[in-house]
Amino acid sequence: AGMFTPSSYECLPRCDAPTEVEHAHPSGPCQEGSQIHRGSFCTPQCEAGYAPRQEEPLWCGGGSRSRATLSPETFVCDKVEQRSRVADAAPREGRRRHDTDEM
């Protein structure tokens, strides 16, 4: 008969990725997948044109021996404002250069 190495192991609970996140990325709300290992993070991801409101990842921990929970439990995807080309083309105050400046 074969032997396992190591001789003992422990099954750690996992966190489920958040559900019902509006505008979550099509592959799922967490870059790490639908199941997050206890002690790991869920990096929020949103569909194109949206970005996670919070910058910090969600942490999988707490709970009990049989269940872990995400903290915070979910996140929000906000619409990213598109900058207009007119605004990009406008000169910035303090950065204007006049032909007479270098004479």
User: What would the pLDDT profile of 31-62 be if each residue is shown by its tens digit?
Assistant: 999 999 999 999 999 999 999 999 899 999 98
Count helices and strands in the chain by DSSP H and E runs: 1, 7
Chain centre to alpha carbon of residue 34: 13
Of 14, 96, 100, the residue nearest 63 (C-alpha):
14
Of 65, 67, 76, the residue nearest 16 (C-alpha):
67
What is the per-residue pLDDT across 55-86, written as a single tens digit (0 to 9) for each? Answer: 899 999 987 777 899 999 999 999 998 765 55
